[in-house]
Structure 1
Amino acid sequence: MSDLEDPLYKNWVRSALSLKYLKHGIHSFVDRIAKQHHKDLLFGYRKDTGCAAKSCCECTSENLLPDHPRNGCIQKFRSKCFCNNTGGRRKCPNHFCSRFYDLIVRAHDERNPIWANTDPARWFGDHWATSQCFLGTTGYSDKHTAVETDASGLLSIILNNIELRSHLDCPDNVSKARDIRNEIMHSTSFEVDDEKLCWYVDQMILVLQDKKELINEEAAKNAVVNLTKLKRNQIYISEEDVSEMRRGALSAAQDGIKHIEKKTDEVMHRIEVKRKQVHEDIDAHFAKKMREQDKQMDDKNIQTVDESDVDNEAVELTAEEKGKRVEQI
């Protein structure tokens, strides 16, 4: 009995295949906007510096130091910023990569780029090397074009890149599509019922028919046609399709582990920041209390001294009065 004879499993394969159609419908759109965004960043560099950007092939992820100072880090997590550990790092000798690094950070929706996928030496001449900074996870360093990038990567770039998001009428649909992708590719049962399959496909069609621009993209229109056929079970599923989807699921599982590790690092970082803040608040509280107690003690000592002076004056006055009485007698 072929696995495809199991309707739930076949629906899972169709669900995974729908991601392939989604990718085909959006990759040219993402590439076009990413290319324009790269030009805008280069223009921003010229606007900030007054000089045209220069090509650089000397900077790497290991030796580049950002333009911003360490004590003024602009990245969400300084522990992930190149400024965190300055050993062996220096500013770009061509005065480009360091400042372009900062421009990328500021163009990220959460100011949290992932640098493992990119190569700074390619930033000047390759728009996709810049786009790789907006991916949501590692594992894409060998994907040098939009065509090579899967649906998950393209959706992450759209959501994380402020400029790309601005070309959408409803970014929430993209967020839902990304969640659907994770649900499909991280499935442990490899089973999807008819109702869920239809919902998956409908959500992807919403992305492709986004009213702002995508709805007019020819590739998006073709993808909608294929998704509609897929939903109606009008597309033949081959064993080759099955193998491809299974390989994709295995790769996604590995990416999922990396994503969990990434989230764990972020949570641990937040816990550490909170712990330090709590300790600082406690120290500040006790320091304030000690200052208040010291002030109270000082005030009490002053009062004691004043009362002692009054008592001495009273004693002196009494002695003087006694002297006068003796003289009178």
Structure 2
Amino acid sequence: MTPNVIKCPTKTVCKTKHRRCTFNNSVALSNRRCPTNRICDSLCKSIIDNHRFKGPSWKNTDATQWCTIAWSITKCYIPPDGYENVNTARDTDFNGIVNIIINCIKFQKYLKEDLSESANICTKVRDKNKTLKYSPTMRIADDEKGNFIITLVGILNDSVNVNNPSKFTETSQKLLKLKTDVFEVSATKR
């Protein structure tokens, strides 16, 4: 289980009550050995080593699923709040996906821009998305919309080592049409 493989205290996970950690000191932890030759400990170390900020979201994940459901490992790179019950990429919102790209250093090979810089193409698109997401009216001015779309196109154009570059080109063209109001958006289209 996850409490078996992370060290106590772990920021944002451990909760103390009467000087005892309620996350790491449960009855279920009496057997702290990994049943698969300590592979859980190796996976835990790898998750930490591949996290850009060395602070995985442990409360999102379930270590018992690490060897069978890859998304359980991926969830370690998503922000800690709001994603505990998200079990696939399809169920994950834009903010979650872009944070995976930012937080997991393995994604650097897919982008030219240095993701270790605090202001990079992914943080720009994430911040623009947050501005729209938290707008009380869910509306943005035309120039803001244009800037947001250009930033999205920028992330597509910055991509390297992709399996389907024609899909990236097609998506960029659709975004540019959306910028000029030539492309229609429908709630039923995918």
Q: Give me the TM-score of the superposition, normalised by structure 1.
A: 0.47
Partner of residue 109, structure 1: 52
What is the deviation of 1:81? 5.5
Q: Distance in 2 between matches of 1:128 and 1:165?
A: 19
Task: Give 5+ residue unaligned stretches, structure 1.
Answer: 1-59, 71-76, 242-329
Partner of residue 167, structure 2: 219
Task: Count the aligned residue pairs.
Answer: 171
Where do 1:36-185 residues align within 5 Å?
60-61=1-2, 63-66=3-6, 78-80=10-12, 85=21, 86-88=24-26, 89=29, 90-94=32-36, 95-170=38-113, 171=115, 172-185=120-133
Q: CA RMSD in A?
A: 2.5
Q: Cα–Cα, structure 1 residues 217 and 149, in superposed 2: closer, same or farther, change >3 Å?
A: farther
The answer as to whether partners of 1:208 and 1:215 remain within 8 angstroms in 2 is no
Partner SS state of residue 192, structure 1: coil
Higher helix share: 1
Partner of residue 248, structure 1: none
What is the deviation of 1:201? 0.3
The answer as to whether partners of 2:40 and 2:63 remain within 8 angstroms in 1 is yes
Q: Distance in 1 between matches of 2:180 and 2:64?
A: 47
Task: Give 5+ residue unaligned stretches, structure 2.
Answer: none
The answer as to whether partners of 1:109 and 1:160 remain within 8 angstroms in 2 is yes
Larger Rg: 1
Q: Distance in 2 between matches of 1:203 and 1:216?
A: 20
Q: Distance in 1 between matches of 2:81 and 2:185?
A: 30
Q: Give me the TM-score of the superposition, normalised by structure 2.
A: 0.77
Where do 1:306-321 residues align within 5 Å?
none
Q: Distance in 2 between matches of 1:81 and 1:175?
A: 25
The answer as to whether partners of 1:104 and 1:133 remain within 8 angstroms in 2 is yes
What is the deviation of 1:169? 0.7
What is the deviation of 1:228? 1.2
The answer as to whether partners of 2:65 and 2:72 remain within 8 angstroms in 1 is yes
What is the deviation of 1:214? 4.7
